Structure 1
């Protein structure tokens, strides 16, 4: 039952994004027969260190979506405090719903079924503009962001160039 509701919702969200594209990213299916795995192309936001970059990511939805959040993993190399070295995005709205057992996040900051691919991507794009080095997924990037901005900027610029070459 949950799977068919998720399929309908995902088809609707994908059709809406294709009919009315949102600035900053595009979305499509990795494989036309699997509605649960999307490929996202994130355009580095203007006036950010990622400006000019084209970063590919995969968004994988659980079968009980929207009750549980999707996972977002960058396929392109990206140097960011909130993106793990494995490419996994660490952002509050993608964390399982409910209270944070560590007390760091409020339940309202975590996943809620009202979120859509669009709201997730707007949050991720915002994160590219304004990294949260207080809650890093990549400790090395967060440390560099805090302590050596010049080196951090060079690291990001290298990722931007690589993303342009891979496009």
Structure 2
């Protein structure tokens, strides 16, 4: 296997490091041991948040061009959050700046420095998602789930009840 793709070397190193030294808030594995581009992720709900005690299953899908391009992260566990798509082909996909392709944002919501940079690691991605889930009042400026964003703005208590009900049902 002399033509190992650079992304495989990077991902292999990160996978070994995260597997040898487990983190408190998440764990990682491979969906298929022969494919370093598809990771399964378990996020343990952060304490003192709506997701406390939840076990959230997700997938990280890395493009062959990684680390030049970002992976996609998609929750398998049903989620109700302004920054997580709720329907269609993107259902469960996380929409945060560091997972957006590098460069300028065509809509002007994000600075280029907030978007994907090749220095980001799997750990930094997962810590960003955990931070997203930890926010008391999620960002509703450019939502992936417009209905959840509207609910945050108009009925925060109802939004929180809905999140807890979905998480408790799992």
Measure the CA separation in 2 of the matches of 1:82 and 1:149: 15
Provide the secondary structure at the position in 1 that maps to 2:5: helix
Measure the CA separation in 1 of the matches of 2:154 and 2:14: 41
Provide the secondary structure at the position in 1 that maps to 2:59: strand
Hey, what does 1:133 align to over in structure 2? 140
2:109 and 2:142 in contact (8 A); partners too:
no
Residues 126, 2 of structure 1: alpha-carbon distance in 2 compared, 3 angstrom cutoff: farther
Deviation at 1:23, TM superposition (A): 2.2
Describe the superposition over 1:6-57 as per-residue Cα deviations: whole angstroms up to 9, x where unpaired.
1111010011001122221110001111110000001111011111111100
Hey, what does 2:154 align to over in structure 1? 147
> Larger RCO: Structure 1 or Structure 2 (Cα < 8 Å, ≥ 6 residues apart)?
1
Unaligned runs of 5+ in 1: none
Provide the secondary structure at the position in 1 that maps to 2:36: coil
Please tell me whether residue 59 in structure 1 is matched to residue 60 in structure 2.
yes
| Root mean square deviation, CA, Å | 1.4
Residues 2, 83 of structure 1: alpha-carbon distance in 2 compared, 3 angstrom cutoff: farther
Unaligned runs of 5+ in 2: none
Q: TM-score, normalised by structure 1?
A: 0.93
Measure the CA separation in 2 of the matches of 1:143 and 1:133: 8
2:26 and 2:41 in contact (8 A); partners too:
yes
The number of aligned residues is: 163
Hey, what does 1:20 align to over in structure 2? 21
Structure 1 runs of 4+ with >3 Å offset: none
